[in-house]
Structure 1
Amino acid sequence: MKELIKAFHNQPLRRINGREYILNPLLDHYPETSYALMEDTILELSRITDLSKIDKIVGEEDRGGYIAALMAFRHKKSLAMVKWNPCGLDGHIGVDFRNAYTSGKMYLNGAKKGDKVLIVEDLIDSGGTIIAMISLLKYAGVEICDIITVVDKVDYGGRERILKETGFSVKNILGVACRGGRSKVISVLGIGT
């Protein structure tokens, strides 16, 4: 947990689209993403979910996609990805989405009706990415067993929005406040620091 807290506590913030973006080594690979940080992240994500009930892990191809891939590899599960670009496959389905920094369409690759999945995402800001993923997976007839993230940016209410709009609760490792030019870890596994 030490490496993960270090990666998100007291990190510089950059204002993008009216929101504070956390520069950090886990998601921006700046200055680099150490093995210790990746290991810490995967161990902690593994603790907050029951992997015995799922047969597939679903991630989103952007910053958190490699975290989903590491989880799938570590736990010997198949991997599916939600992508931003269509590949022209027959039956390809897409949904419109808007998150804190961009908007467009998302497409599902590698998940099918009846799959039991775990959604693994990097962080929650506005909740838009996870809401779109849930919509896409439900449309495809996929059973969502759990949703986990590394960080909840608590200032923006994304977790609450996801619950209100979809009925799904999201588990996260860290709660991070984004104000005053630097990030501050304020909770670990739902417990204040």
Structure 2
Amino acid sequence: MLKNLRESLRNAPIIKRGSYNYFIHPISDGVPVVRPELLREVIACIVKNANVDVDKIVTIEAMGLPLGSALSQITDIPFIIIRKRKYELPGEIAVHQATGYSKGELYLNGIDKGDRVLIVDDVISTGGTMLATLKALEMAGATVKDIIVVIERGDGKKEIIDMGYDIKTLIKIDVDENGVKVLECIDGEC
């Protein structure tokens, strides 16, 4: 089921950011091009494996946008984007985010107390973005019904599970200077 995702990850270019081996991929970076068949495959797998009995889909800027948009169109569930820019709307919630290679603020708008949400994101590595997202949703009074992330790299997923959340990933990878190695797939066909 994840044939396009597996192959595209195995062929992803690697660049060094300090000592960090960063993989470049359409789902995580939007380059070189996001092919519709790849996005359809990923969204179909999300729909099959996520709890979509929710009020809102929550995704994170920037690469969560194509995922949230496509998922919203298929499920008819509205989606919220956690942004990296402050809008100063009433009730806006700001939280600090720290990842393996960046730090900054994230801003949540549009979640009401009691909303049941599905979080969808492109990558989890350190878990820093997901931790900030969960904190913002907790502050808003939302109930996280499910979390699904396309690509898992590193130990961030374990930290989220240790907090008591159920989190699913479609594919688990390891990255070194030689490339991306696919370790595990949700469909078991790695």
Shorter chain as denominator, the TM-score bin is: over 0.9
The residue number in structure 2 matching 1:105 is: 105
User: Residues 1-193 of structure 1: matches in 2 within 5 Å?
Assistant: 1-51=2-52, 53-153=53-153, 156-164=154-162, 166-189=163-186, 191=188, 193=190
Q: Which runs of 5+ in 2 are unaligned?
A: none
Measure, in 2, the Cα distance between the counterparts of 1:102 and 1:79: 25
1:6 maps to a residue whose letter is: E
Structure 1 contact 55–78 (Cα < 8 Å) conserved: yes
Q: Which runs of 4+ in 1 moved over 6 A?
A: none
RMSD: 1.6
2:38 maps to a residue whose letter is: L
State the SS of the aligned residue for 1:36: helix
Deviations 1:82-141 (A, max 9, x none): 111110112211111101221111110221111100000001110100111001001100
Deviates more, 1:29-38 or 1:183-192: 183-192
State the SS of the aligned residue for 2:29: coil
Measure, in 2, the Cα distance between the counterparts of 1:121 and 1:146: 12
1:43 maps to a residue whose letter is: A
State the SS of the aligned residue for 1:26: helix
Q: Which runs of 5+ in 1 are unaligned?
A: none
Deviation at 1:32, TM superposition (A): 1.0
2:61 maps to a residue whose letter is: E
Deviates more, 1:170-179 or 1:3-12: 3-12
Measure, in 2, the Cα distance between the counterparts of 1:21 and 1:111: 33
Measure, in 2, the Cα distance between the counterparts of 1:133 and 1:183: 27
* Normalised TM-score (structure 1): 0.91
How many residue pairs get aligned? The number is: 189
Measure, in 2, the Cα distance between the counterparts of 1:17 and 1:157: 19
Deviation at 1:14, TM superposition (A): 1.6
2:33 maps to a residue whose letter is: E
Deviation at 1:180, TM superposition (A): 3.4
Structure 2 contact 51–118 (Cα < 8 Å) conserved: no
Measure, in 2, the Cα distance between the counterparts of 1:17 and 1:138: 34
State the SS of the aligned residue for 1:132: helix
State the SS of the aligned residue for 1:120: strand
Measure, in 2, the Cα distance between the counterparts of 1:100 and 1:72: 29
Deviations 1:49-87 (A, max 9, x none): 121x21110000112222112111111001111111110
Measure, in 2, the Cα distance between the counterparts of 1:92 and 1:49: 27
Measure, in 1, the Cα distance between the counterparts of 2:54 and 2:114: 11
